[in-house]
Structure 1
Amino acid sequence: MLSSLTRRGFLAVYAIIIIVPLTVVIFGSFKSTQELFDGPFSFPQSLAPDAYAEVIGAQNLGRSFTNSVIVTACSVPITLFLASLAGYAVARMKGFWSWAIFGFLVLGMAIPAQANMVPLYVLFQRLGLLDTLIGLILANVVSTLPIAVFILGGFMRTLPRELYEASAIDGTSTWRTYASIAVPLSAPSLAAAGIFLFVIHWNELLYPLLFIQSPENRTLPLALLSFQGEFQTDYPLLFAGVIMASLPVVVAYIFLQRYFVAGITAGANKG
């Protein structure tokens, strides 16, 4: 009884921590700056979407949205493909080398992105990838590949080895086994990793801020920084932009929620 009340208490506190700032952002997007400062938690006097109309009409924001779509739509599949190949290879190996290679691949999770900023910048400068979407895609793939390998490799290791052995006895090639057995059985884990990567790549700000200089190559998070001035910030406009930038993530999660939950719980009962 006590543990149940404690758990509910923690959940209630966590819900309040999430709901309070979310309410301020949603209500604030319909207010003027003065009205927001006077009553950040009060209901807006008008629901006229003036800030949203201004965000939509902002210069190059549509181009920034398109850039974010391109970068995310390329980064997520490439990362999932490479991570699934690595996870499949680790799952097929036996003994010490399997764990050693798997540990080496996921070691990148321990290296902060800030530690790679200077080497990446110098490398991209020499390769001519600065201020390009291709450079952002490569940076996103490299930075999130370790965690994708961790998710997919960990799941593929739980698949029965008898499936691979039966496939080999039937004369199926390694690539065919990967495409026909490993990938379909790993669909829940792929969906969970895909949603996770989508959120990371869509909201990525560090690499665009580091590599992008021209306005036409800005991604959406970087474009939202233009709403924040050096001495004054238009918070209603910024809040409206944040909400609009978050909508694709919310919609993706709503439609893929069951796959995400299945991917998180997949393999929990396997030994």
Structure 2
Amino acid sequence: MAGSLSRRVVLGVYALLIIVPLLVVLTGSFKTSKELFDSPMGLPSSLSPKNYSAVLTDASMATAFVNSAVVTVTAVVLTLAVGSLAAYGLARIPGWKGALVYGFLVLGMAVPAQSNMIPQYVLFQSLGLLDSRIGLVLIEIVATLPVAVFIMTGFMRTLPKELFEAGSIDGAGPWRTYRSIALPVSMPSLAATAIFLFVIQWNDLLYPLLFIHDPAKVTLPLALLNFQGEFLTNYPLLFTGVIVASTPLVVTYVFLQRYFVAGMTAGSVKG
């Protein structure tokens, strides 16, 4: 009884830590700067959409939204393609060899991104990939591929070997087995991985800040910095930009939520 009450208290506190800042941002997006500073926790005097109109009609924000969409969608699709191929191969390599390759790939999650920035910048500069959407896509794939391999390998290792053996008996080669058997049954894992990748890559500020200098190629997180000045920050517009930037994440989760729990739990136990 005491343990159950303690868990409820902890969960209640955790919920407040999430809900209160969210409400401040949501209500603040309808306020003026004066209203926000006078009453940060209070309700706005009116539900005027002027902040949303200012953000949505801002040409730089529209350009940043398109850049983020192009870079994120391309990077997510390519990361899923490469990661699923790697996971399929690792799941079928028996013994210590598969474990060694898997450990090498997943080790990338333990390496801080900041430790690689200087050599990555020098490399991209020598290849002419700075201020390039292609370069940004490539670095996002490299940075998030270990996460994709980690999630999808855990799932594919739970798939019955009989599935692959049946494909071999029917004359299917490795590529046909991967395309016709492994991918269809791995849709929950792919959807869960896609959500993680989309959140990470859509919200990434570090790599765009390092590799992108052309205003026409900035992404949304980078564009939101324009609302912060040296001496004054327009917090209502900043809050509005955050909500607008977060909307695609919410929509993506709503459409893929039925796969999310299944994808994250399917690889946790051996089937």
Give the structure 2 partner of residue 147 of structure 1.
147
Structure 1 vs Structure 2 CA RMSD: 1.0
Contact 2:228 2:234 in 1 (8 A): yes
8 Å Cα contact 2:154/2:267 also seen in 1: no
User: Structure 2 CA distance, aligned partners of 1:117 and 1:145?
Assistant: 17
Specify the code of the residue in structure 1 equivalent to 2:111. I
Alignment partner, residue 39 of structure 2:
39
- Opposite residue 118 of structure 2, the aligned amino acid is V
TM-score, normalised on structure 1?
A: 0.98
Residue of structure 1 equivalent to 2:23: 23
| Matching of residues 152-163 of structure 1 within 5 Å | 152-163=152-163
AA at the equivalent of 1:156: M
Q: Give the superposition deviation at 1:267.
A: 3.5
Counterpart of 2:67 in structure 1 is: 67
Q: Partner amino acid for 2:81? A: F
What one-letter code is carried by the residue in structure 1 that aligns with 2:69? Answer: V
**3-state SS in 2 of match to 1:231:** coil
Displacement after TM superposition at 1:268 (Å): 4.1
Residue equivalent to 2:241: 241
Q: What percent of counterpart residues are identical?
A: 62
Give the Cα–Cα distance (whole angstroms) in 1 for the partners of residues 67 and 6 of structure 2.
45
**1:36 is aligned with what amino acid?**
L
The structural deviation recorded for 1:256 is 1.2
Question: What's 1:83 paired with?
Answer: 83
Match of 1:132 in 2: 132
Code of the aligned partner of 2:183: V
What count of residue pairs does the alignment treat as equivalent?
271
Determine the structure 2 residue equivalent to 1:270: 270
Q: 2: distance between equivalents of 1:169 and 1:255?
A: 37
Alignment of 1:115-264 (within 5 A): 115-264=115-264
Q: CA deviation at 1:6?
A: 1.6
* Alignment-derived partner of residue 8 in structure 1: 8
Unaligned runs of 5+ in 1: none
Counterpart code for 2:199: V
| CA displacement 1:61-84 (0-9 Å, x = unmatched) | 111100001001100010001000
Letter in 1 for 2:134: I
